[in-house]
Structure 1
């Protein structure tokens, strides 16, 4: 339990001080948990996409409009590549920060060259199969932790995915609330991507 608490604390501190990503601590490929999906990951079938949204070449800081940023209480946006898959290939990412009384950030990454089947591997992440705005997605977080972060990886095109991380800085967010925020960020980003094609 102490190791898990230390890991969570390290993740939050690293994000605040160094701007590093969740998963840059050597986390191997994630496993789909039995709580998240039934059956083997080899038999996973995803629903057809409502449409194909290619993210290659898109400015990650164009994924949320000014109105959407206001809804999410975002104060600033910084384009900074992030190795969100922990594979040595940083993806174009916009780090949207809130600097109000409650501090948090949304990292929105546009991944090319690796589809959402990446999240069907094996590691210490808890991965659940879900849907965001009709697109198949995986929700993931570090296994055995609460109130650390919540992320969604959305299947937008062949070998491409939209990854949205909600990262609290400090306390004040339940795990459910973090996942609701992450899902809402993904919904808004998908809506914007549909206008950028």
Structure 2
């Protein structure tokens, strides 16, 4: 499991570190200047199981046909604590992977401050402010981060599963947004 989840952590490191293939640091990313609307309310996610955030029906709709796999481990993107995460894969009709992380040690400011090697654009999901972080160098995944409470966020990553031809990144971003919507629907129904 750690090997599978490790690929998602490497993707997160690329978002933060902006390293090139040779290990050389990429040019710094300019501040994004993104201002987000306020949250409609705070939804604390302490103790939430990330694997509970997509129902079986939602997983089927998103093409995720493998059982969710829970992981708790360190993250390069969110240093200082073990981050509860869930990996869900799908192989039919296409190969994809979704990573859901419950982050209670960092707020969405990490993504709006401009320190990422990604193009960041604001969106909303169920009225909650969010951003789509599109890696500028690697095109095999896309991330949506939802601001749920002060210093807390949901990190939803949608990645290509490696078949040919690859899934275009705009489609991965669209799927990441759909997944974030489904996650928020489930979270809000339980609160």
Decide which of 81, 84, 94 is 1:92's aligned counterpart. 84
CA gap 1:28/1:172 in 2 versus in 1, 3 angstroms: closer
Q: Distance in 2 between matches of 1:174 and 1:89?
A: 33
Matches within 5 A, 1:74-93: 74-75=64-65, 76-81=67-72, 83=75, 85-93=77-85
Residues 30-179 of structure 1: matches in 2 within 5 Å? 41=33, 44-75=34-65, 76-81=67-72, 83=75, 85-119=77-111, 120-145=113-138, 147-170=139-162, 171-179=165-173
Q: Confirm or deny: 8 A CA contact 2:40 2:128 kept in the other structure.
A: yes
Structure 2: distance between partners of 1:116 and 1:140: 11
Residue 24 (structure 2) aligns with: none
**SS state of the match for residue 115, structure 2?**
coil
Taking a change above 3 Å as real, the CA distance of residues 32 and 183 of structure 1, as seen in their structure-2 partners, is farther
- Return 150-159 or 46-55, whichever deviates more: 46-55
- Quote the Cα distance in structure 1 between the aligned partners of 2:150 and 2:78: 20
TM-score, normalised via structure 2 length: 0.79
Task: Determine whether 1:194 maps to 2:185.
Answer: no
> In 1, are the aligned partners of 2:108 and 2:151 still within 8 Å (CA)?
yes
How many correspondences in the alignment?
Answer: 175
Give CA-to-partner distance per residue, 1:23-64, whole Å, 9 cap, x none: 2469438x8767xx5xxx3xx432121232211100111001
In structure 1, list runs of 5 or more residues that go unmatched. 1-13
Change (3 A) 1:141 1:77: same
What is the rounded CA distance, in whole Å, between the counterparts of 2:177 and 2:30 in structure 1? Answer: 19
Q: Please give the TM-score of this superposition, normalised by the length of structure 1.
A: 0.77
Q: Deviations over 1:100-126 (max 9, x none)?
A: 352111101110021100111424222
Displacement after TM superposition at 1:19 (Å): 4.6
